[in-house]
């Protein structure tokens, strides 16, 4: 398992990539639905906070197998949320393209 520090950095990087894309779309595509894009950005900021809290408070601290499973599920959740946000953002851009 990678360290908690690396996991936190990965979470920060992925969530900031989504936010950067949201703001890029808002800046360079004036036809896009601003409220929808901002809703995506807000949900990413909420998820970012949730993921950072989850890193610091694992379930089953006494059992290494449970901890490993917990962090694997957390990493999968982070990737899923980022992917879903990118897809939602892409769908918003395609509506006006």
pLDDT of residue 59: 80
Mean pLDDT of 65-79: 94
Predicted pLDDT of residue 1:
52
Q: What is the pTM of this model?
A: 0.91
For position 24, what pLDDT does the model report? 97
Is residue 2 very low, low, confident or very high in pLDDT (cuts 50, 70, 90)? low
Q: Could you read off the pLDDT of 29-63 as tens digits, one per residue?
A: 999 999 999 999 999 999 999 999 999 988 878 89
> What's the distance, CA 33 to chain centroid?
21
d(CA 5, CA 56): 10
Residue 23: which pLDDT band, with cuts at 50, 70 and 90?
very high
- Between the alpha carbon of residue 72 and those of residues 5, 60, 67, 69, 83, the distances in Å are 15, 14, 9, 5, 17
């Amino acid at each position: 398992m990678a360290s908690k520090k690396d996991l936190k950095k990965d979470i920060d990087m992925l969530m900031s990539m989504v936010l950067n894309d949201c703001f890029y779309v808002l800046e360079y595509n004036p036809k896009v639905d601003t409220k929808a894009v901002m809703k995506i950005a807000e949900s990413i900021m909420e998820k970012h906070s949730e993921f950072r809290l989850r890193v610091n408070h694992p379930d089953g601290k006494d059992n290494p197998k449970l901890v490993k499973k917990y962090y694997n599920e957390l990493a999968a959740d982070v990737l899923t949320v980022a992917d879903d946000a990118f897809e939602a953002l892409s769908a918003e851009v395609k509506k006006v393209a």
